[in-house]
Amino acid sequence: MSESLITYLALILVVAGVCSLLFKFLKQPVVLAYIVAGIILSFFIPKHSPEYEGVEIWAEIGIIFLLFGLGLEFSFKKLMKVGVTAIVAALFIVISMIVLGYFTGICFGWSHLTSLFLGAMLCMSSTMIIIKVFDDLHLTSKNFAGIVLGILIIEDLVAVLLMVLLSTVAVSQNFQGMEMIVSLLKLIAFLLFWFILGTFLIPTILRKAKRFLNDETLLIISIALCMGMVFLATQAGFSTALGAFIMGSILAETIDSERIEHLILPIKNFFGAIFFVSVGMMLQPANIGDNIVYILIISLVVIVGQIIFATGGVLLSGQNLKTAVSAGFSMTQIGEFSYIIGALGLSFQVIGDNLYQIIVSVSVITIFVTPYMMKLADPAYVLLEKKLPQKWIKFINRDSSAARPVNQDTLWKKLLKQMAVIVILYLVICIMIVSLSLSYGLPFIHKFLPGLKGDLLAAAVILAGVSPFMRAIIIKKDRSEEFVQLWKNNKINRGPLIFTIIVRVLLCAAIIMYVLFYLFHTHFAITFTIAIAILMIFVASTHLKKRSISLEQRFKANFNEKEKYRESKSPVTKGFTNHVMERDLHLADFAVLPYYSIVGKTLKELNFRQFFGVSVVTIMRNGLRINIPKGDERFYPDDHIVVLGTDKQMELFQQRLEEKRQRYANLEEKYSPEVQMKQIQIEANSILIGKNIRTSGIQETYHCLLIGIERNNMSTHNPDLDLVLEEGDILWLIGENDNIMKIKSL
């Protein structure tokens, strides 16, 4: 590494540090600080210099750690929990904004491909910025905040899928439907296979190695797993960002995920800062004036479009108008994924530097106005409530139970849904095992065992690998309650039920036949017969049955490990939360900090229900749950209290809790003197002469500790409290410097 490269790195960090301090003082997001730092540095680091190429390498590493961190926060378990509201709203927002961005680009006279990338860059709100502003404005306990965070989870996944699909489009330079479908299927197979394999292996490995995993070892292993998945993703033709995201989402299911996230955070912040600085360095301030019309129009498109489509998406999912408006006004910005997709477009030369600079400028504007847009949500709701017809308001605010999916599935639908999930998951595993074995395993075996013997060994290895999964595909759910009930209820059902078995058998047989054709080039009839015979052996084997059940149980245990651990520590169980059915009510968890004004007081004294309308449901104290606490129950520091109420009630309650926060913060900023040890000599005019230690006030009045006296060249440690002090005594004191000086002045 050249000396100038190190010099430029130091310059980058110094400028970024100064800008971040300035923006913290101005209460602006730190991402903006890094972009401004990049704009400043663009005057000192030439764009095509070797030093700039070094910055680009660090920025690419930054993308890896950013996506790894997002994966740790994402997790497929969260995806399953966000519910219909987040999924419907997120898909509506993404599709609508892509279409709006595409037509905006067409109106500017840009190409179809450039316009498509513009739409993709405008459809993602910034997770980082929204979470930061929610925290700053104390909105995290509000009902709409949970919906927005759920939408952001879906958007993160869609962004990763978009990156893969856009890469395919950029390479082919046109919209080839079949190629897009093949790429999408390949991506889904890759995601499912590594997620299933990773969930099966990684939590087990971490659990068995737990006693060896200190922070250093866990950090190295986590980064190694991340980089390993990055390598596998690039080998499969996907981006490094996808590999990092997948490994992050796998580790997110482990009970060590929060610890890993904490360890990775400084590295993610460091390289992420360099990435955002590199984004700023792409800007050319001299050209902003030439693009100001594009910047302002696209900024307006983002703000207005997100308000309309986010509000509409949340309304479509069944939420009320107030929640929808609050969510819509929260998502009026573009952020980190816009830069990543923009960098992808630049690398494929689909978009030019000009558009990239426009997008970064739009991002800066929309991020800057985000807090103000959130504050406008309530006035906008009040205005809509006044202007809209009452019939519309009643229709929009209809009972949420109508929006919630009601389980009216027939036995057939339930059975087929469960079968489809099992067949798809296990088929993906079987196909990936076959593909990897034939691509990498077979050449390796042929090095040591060429010819027919090597092919036979390879076939045996592949069949052994897929056998438990194929048995599960054929047998699983055939003895389920739904299957048995359908079989007994009506003889007409038996034909279709048998047909489902035949379809699953044929799917498995097709995979085995492909392997046999590939290795031995046998006749179709012979291959089919051998495949059916092999499947019959799989079904009849009790050993495979035990192995299949064991694999499934281990996967389920690993997949649910973190959830079970959290439920054991959570103040309120999942089942309890699901019973809160009121439209406006929701549960929120508040931590009681030592300086809160409620500490030491009883529920009866505070009377939260009368003053704020909230009800205290549970108090969590040192792992002990106090459900429906009585009026004489007191609050102590580090308690967690779960309360039930509306958004407005929660806001008032939080203000009551935190009314001493500012006073405490001011105290923290004051200088807190340290304890020191010093010696002083009693002078002739000291008022301490003739007093004993007990009555001198050294400890009681001046808060110092006398640990020793020197008199006549003799030292006395821990002197007796009745010892009379004399002129010339040297006192050894421990205390704050100011207090010791006061004693000396006596």
User: Of 407-416, 650-659, 667-676, 728-737, which one has max mean pLDDT?
Assistant: 728-737
pLDDT for residue 668: 45
Tens digit of each residue's pLDDT (9 = 90 or more) over 474-501: 888 777 777 878 788 777 777 888 888 8
For the chain, how many helices (H) and strands (E)? 32, 8
Domain boundary among 559, 591, 622: 559
Q: Which residue has the higher pLDDT, 128 or 174?
A: 128
Residue 350 lies in a domain: yes
Q: Which of 283, 294, 288 is nearest to 109 (CA)?
A: 294
pLDDT for residue 179: 62
Model confidence at 503: pLDDT above 70: yes
Residue 399 lies in a domain: no
Taking the C-alpha atoms of residue 44 and residue 254, their distance in angstroms, rounded to an integer, is 45
Model confidence at 538: pLDDT above 90: no
Q: Which residue has the higher pLDDT, 180 or 43?
A: 43
Lowest model confidence (mean pLDDT) among 50-64, 71-85, 588-602, 663-677: 663-677
Lowest model confidence (mean pLDDT) among 212-221, 260-269, 275-284: 275-284
CB 653 within 8 A of CB 614: yes
pLDDT band at 377 (very low <50, low <70, confident <90, very high): confident
Q: What is the DSSP string of 589-647?
A: EEE--TT-TTTT-BHHHH-HHHHH--EEEEEEETTEEEES--TTPBP-TT-EEEEEE-H
Residue 454's Cβ-side half-sphere holds a number of Cα atoms within 13 Å equal to 13
Give the length of the chain.
Answer: 746
Residue 564 lies in a domain: no
Residue 651's Cβ-side half-sphere holds a number of Cα atoms within 13 Å equal to 11
pLDDT for residue 172: 64
CB 395 within 8 A of CB 321: no
Q: What is the DSSP string of 523-584?
A: -HHHHHHHHHHHHHHHHH-HHHHHHHHHHHHHHHHHHHHHHHHHHHH-SS-HHHHHT---SS
pLDDT for residue 453: 86
Domain match, 612 and 696 both: no
Taking the C-alpha atoms of residue 34 and residue 265, their distance in angstroms, rounded to an integer, is 17
Tens digit of each residue's pLDDT (9 = 90 or more) over 392-420: 777 777 644 444 443 334 677 777 877 88
Residue 406 lies in a domain: no
Task: Show the tokens assigned to 517.
Answer: 């054709």
Model confidence at 87: pLDDT above 60: yes
- Under DSSP, is residue 96 helix (H, G, I), strand (E, B) or coil? helix
Model confidence at 671: pLDDT above 60: no
Model confidence at 619: pLDDT above 90: no
pLDDT for residue 658: 64
Domain match, 250 and 228 both: yes
Segment 505-532 mean pLDDT: 88
Q: C-alpha angle 57/63/64, rounded to 5°?
A: 95
Model confidence at 710: pLDDT above 70: yes
Number of domains in the chain: 4
Q: Identify the burial level of 83 via C-beta atoms within 10 angstroms of its C-beta, where 0-12 means exposed, 13-18 middle and 19 or more buried.
A: middle
Tens digit of each residue's pLDDT (9 = 90 or more) over 434-447: 888 888 888 888 88
pLDDT for residue 173: 62
pLDDT band at 577 (very low <50, low <70, confident <90, very high): very low
pTM for this prediction: 0.63
User: Residue 295 contacts by C-beta under 8 Å, 6 or more apart in sequence?
Assistant: 288, 358, 361, 362, 365
Q: State the amino acid at position 712 in one-letter form.
A: N
Domain match, 210 and 318 both: yes
CB 657 within 8 A of CB 677: no
Model confidence at 188: pLDDT above 80: no
Taking the C-alpha atoms of residue 633 and residue 601, their distance in angstroms, rounded to an integer, is 8
Residue 447's Cβ-side half-sphere holds a number of Cα atoms within 13 Å equal to 4
Domain match, 35 and 103 both: yes
pLDDT for residue 103: 92
Do strands 705-711 and 624-627 pair parallel, antiparallel, or not at all (unpaired)? unpaired
- Under DSSP, is residue 708 helix (H, G, I), strand (E, B) or coil? strand
Q: What is the dihedral of CA 654, 660, 664, 665, to 10 degrees?
A: 50
Domain boundary among 654, 669, 684: 669
Domain match, 664 and 679 both: no
pLDDT for residue 563: 64
pLDDT for residue 104: 92
pLDDT band at 212 (very low <50, low <70, confident <90, very high): confident
Question: CATH code at 661?
Answer: 3.30.70.1450
Segment 254-272 mean pLDDT: 84
Q: Which residue has the higher pLDDT, 576 or 336?
A: 336
Q: Which residue has the higher pLDDT, 58 or 18?
A: 18
Residue listed under structure tokens 């078995």: 501
Query: CA 236 → CA 156, 186, 230, 240, distances in Å?
Result: 21, 9, 10, 10
CB 432 within 8 A of CB 355: no
pLDDT for residue 407: 39
Domain match, 224 and 350 both: yes
Lowest model confidence (mean pLDDT) among 479-483, 509-513, 529-533: 479-483
Residue 104 lies in a domain: yes
User: Residue 466 contacts by C-beta under 8 Å, 6 or more apart in sequence?
Assistant: 429, 430, 433, 434, 511, 512
Residue 405 lies in a domain: no
Model confidence at 579: pLDDT above 60: no
Q: State the amino acid at position 536 in one-letter form.
A: M
pLDDT for residue 123: 87
Q: Which of 716, 726, 719, 722 is nearest to 690 (CA)?
A: 726
Taking the C-alpha atoms of residue 653 and residue 632, their distance in angstroms, rounded to an integer, is 20
Domain boundary among 641, 669, 697: 669
Segment 461-471 mean pLDDT: 88
Tell me what percent of the residues of the chain surpass a pLDDT of 70: 85
Q: Which of 161, 219, 223 is nearest to 186 (CA)?
A: 161
pLDDT for residue 298: 92
Residue 393 lies in a domain: no
Q: What is the DSSP string of 201-224?
A: HHHHHHHHTGGG--HHHHHHHHHH
Question: CATH code at 321?
Answer: 1.20.1530.20
Model confidence at 361: pLDDT above 80: yes
Query: Which residue range forms the structural domain that includes residue 130?
Result: 3-387
Model confidence at 177: pLDDT above 90: no
Model confidence at 508: pLDDT above 60: yes
Sheet holding 705-711, edge to edge: 675-681, 730-736, 705-711, 714-717
Domain match, 711 and 597 both: no
Sheet holding 640-645, edge to edge: 586-591, 640-645, 615-621, 624-627
Domain match, 659 and 695 both: no
Residue 648 CB neighbour total at 10 angstroms: 13
Model confidence at 156: pLDDT above 70: yes
Residue listed under structure tokens 């849904």: 417
User: Residue 425 contacts by C-beta under 8 Å, 6 or more apart in sequence?
Assistant: 192, 196
Lowest model confidence (mean pLDDT) among 76-85, 225-234, 353-362: 76-85
Taking the C-alpha atoms of residue 566 and residue 544, their distance in angstroms, rounded to an integer, is 34
Model confidence at 17: pLDDT above 50: yes
Domain match, 664 and 723 both: no
In the chain, % helix, strand, coil (3-state, to 5) comes to 70, 5, 25
pLDDT for residue 302: 92
N-term to C-term CA, the chain: 64
Segment 569-597 mean pLDDT: 59
Tens digit of each residue's pLDDT (9 = 90 or more) over 28-57: 777 778 888 888 888 877 766 666 777 777
pLDDT for residue 568: 57
Which ranges of 670-723 would DSSP assign to H, the alpha helix? none
Taking the C-alpha atoms of residue 58 and residue 53, their distance in angstroms, rounded to an integer, is 9
Segment 263-288 mean pLDDT: 80
pLDDT for residue 401: 40
Domain match, 475 and 622 both: no
Which ranges of 209-320 would DSSP assign to H, the alpha helix? 215-235, 240-251, 257-281, 285-288, 292-316
Please give the helix or strand (H or E) that residue 715 lies within, else none. strand 714-717
Residue 571 lies in a domain: no
CB 670 within 8 A of CB 723: no
Domain match, 621 and 529 both: no
Domain match, 213 and 293 both: yes
Segment 707-718 mean pLDDT: 85
